[in-house]
């Protein structure tokens, strides 16, 4: 028997960084993300006669490299799901993205969400046990915390217990990620979660993030766009400051990351308008534009990005493409 599911990725504007319970991936603070519907992982599951579960890349337009450690983490999560449903037997799981996995966009959210989704589909059928979306998200969070936010759309909050959609008149955001580096991460986000408590700035981090999240949610309307920019800007700097002040310090910035950020800041000053800007645990810069800002986003792209970097975007509604 074969089952197939896909889930999208998401980008956090208020970050989950630091855990109150490492084993169960309980976050130290609530987080808020925008679902990236155009960036998806597909997982196909097939029952086999073997003695163990195996993972293989799903043939797609983009290679899906997975380290030995990554593969083990993925298979462990799968085992956890099997145990939850008391399902026995072996399976082959094949996964692939509709976007390049080597471009520095965190794909763990979509890949763990898609694995959880397809497993719940298969195992609820095999075991006759029903499961709702909130329970799926809870199980997914045990594999990768941020993946639970990929079960809803489009603004999603996770407080460590449940995911919740947040209503706003800001819809159909256009996403651009400026690729300044493609190397695989030296420090994974799982390691980062463990190291950040050594930073002196970790003291008060949960309170700052919660406060910023409440502020952000109370201003989630088009009129407050500049304030939302300010809050997302402060938030990713806060997370990266934790990295750079940990003991030992680590970080993801490249010189070009600063150049892109400076361009975005100057653009806001010049135009009095611009994108929400954020960075994940990586060197690339994510920009989110309102749907009425398409011309402005192209101006920014032509003036600042086109000559130096590759950018991946869903602007113009023609799918995720390189420009």
Interaction site with ligand PMV (CB under 6 A): 12, 15-17, 31, 106, 108, 144-146, 189-190, 280-281
Residue with tokens 């934790």, as numbered in its chain: 242
Contact 168, 281 (CB under 8 A): no
H helix or E strand, kind and range, residue 165: strand 163-165
Q: Which two tokens stand for residue 33?
A: 């993300």
CA distance 50 to 53: 7
Sign of CA dihedral 133, 136, 142, 145: negative
For ligand PMV, the closer CB: 122 or 242: 242
Nearer to ligand PMV by Cβ, of 117 and 280: the residue is: 280
Q: How far apart are CA 18 and CA 37, in angstroms?
A: 26
- Is the CB of 144 or the CB of 263 nearer to ligand PMV? 144
> In this complex, which beta carbon is closest to ligand PMV, that of residue 31 or of residue 199?
31
Q: How far is the CB of 11 from ligand PMV (least distance, A)?
A: 7
Find, among 275, 279, 315, the residue nearest to 38 by Cα: 315
DSSP 134: H
Scanning the chain, the segments in alpha helix (DSSP H) are 68-85, 108-127, 133-143, 189-195, 205-218, 225-244, 255-271, 294-300
For residue 280, give the nearest of 14, 6, 96 by alpha carbon.
14
Q: How many CB atoms lie within 10 A of CB 76?
A: 13
Q: How far is the CB of 159 from ligand PMV (least distance, A)?
A: 13
Give the nearest distance from C-beta 158 to ligand PMV in angstroms.
8
Q: Which is nearer to ligand PMV, 143 or 274 (CB)?
A: 143
Q: Is the previous residue joined to 154 through a cis bond, with omega within 30 degrees of 0?
A: yes
Q: Which is nearer to ligand PMV, 31 or 95 (CB)?
A: 31
- The residues pairing with 310 across neighbouring beta strands, listed in sequence order, are 179
Q: Are 98 and 60 contacting, i.e. CB atoms less than 8 angstroms apart?
A: yes
Specify the residue for token string 């799926």: 136
* Rg, C-alpha atoms of the chain: 19
Residue 31 or 41 having the CB closest to ligand PMV = 31
Least separation in angstroms between CB 193 and ligand PMV: 6
Judged by beta carbon, residue 87 or residue 209, the one nearer ligand PMV is 209
CB of 15 to ligand PMV, least distance (A): 4
- Report yes or no: 32 and 14 within 8 Å, Cβ to Cβ: yes
Other beta carbons within 10 Å of 269: 9
Least distance to ligand PMV from the beta carbon of 46, Å? 27
Taking the complex as a whole, the smallest distance from the CB of residue 271 to ligand PMV amounts, in Å, to: 28
> How near is the Cβ of 273 to ligand PMV at its closest, in Å?
26
Is 24 or 129 the residue whose CB approaches ligand PMV more closely? 24
CB of 25 to ligand PMV, least distance (A): 7
């Amino acid at each position: 028997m074969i089952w197939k599911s896909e889930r999208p990725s998401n980008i956090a504007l208020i970050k989950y960084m630091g855990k109150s319970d490492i084993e169960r991936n309980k976050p130290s603070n609530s987080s808020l993300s925008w679902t990236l519907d155009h960036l998806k992982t597909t997982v196909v599951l097939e029952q086999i006669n073997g003695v163990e579960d195996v993972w293989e890349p799903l043939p797609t337009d983009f290679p899906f490299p997975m380290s030995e450690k990554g593969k083990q983490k993925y298979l462990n999560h799968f085992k956890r799901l099997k145990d939850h449903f008391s399902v026995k037997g072996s399976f082959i799981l094949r996964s692939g993205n509709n976007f390049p996995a080597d471009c520095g966009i965190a794909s763990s959210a979509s890949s763990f969400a898609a694995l959880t989704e397809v497993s719940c589909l298969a195992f609820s059928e095999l075991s006759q046990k029903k499961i709702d979306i909130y329970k799926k998200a809870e199980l997914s969070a045990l594999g990768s915390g941020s993946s639970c936010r990929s079960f809803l759309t489009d603004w999603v909050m996770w407080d460590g217990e449940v995911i919740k959609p947040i209503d706003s008149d800001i819809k159909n955001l256009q996403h651009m990620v400026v690729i300044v580096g493609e190397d695989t991460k030296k420090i994974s986000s799982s390691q980062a979660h463990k190291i950040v408590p050594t930073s002196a700035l970790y003291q008060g981090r949960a309170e700052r993030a919660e406060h910023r999240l409440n502020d952000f949610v109370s201003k989630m309307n088009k009129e407050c766009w500049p304030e939302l920019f300010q809050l997302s800007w402060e938030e990713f700097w806060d997370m990266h400051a934790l990295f750079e002040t940990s003991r030992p310090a680590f970080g993801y910035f490249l010189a070009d990351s600063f150049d892109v950020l400076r361009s975005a800041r100057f653009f806001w000053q010049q135009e009095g308008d611009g994108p929400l800007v954020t960075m994940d645990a990586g060197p690339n810069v994510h920009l989110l534009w309102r749907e009425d800002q398409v011309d402005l986003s192209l101006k920014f792209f032509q003036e600042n990005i086109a000559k130096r970097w590759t950018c991946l975007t869903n602007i113009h509604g023609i799918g995720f493409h390189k420009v």
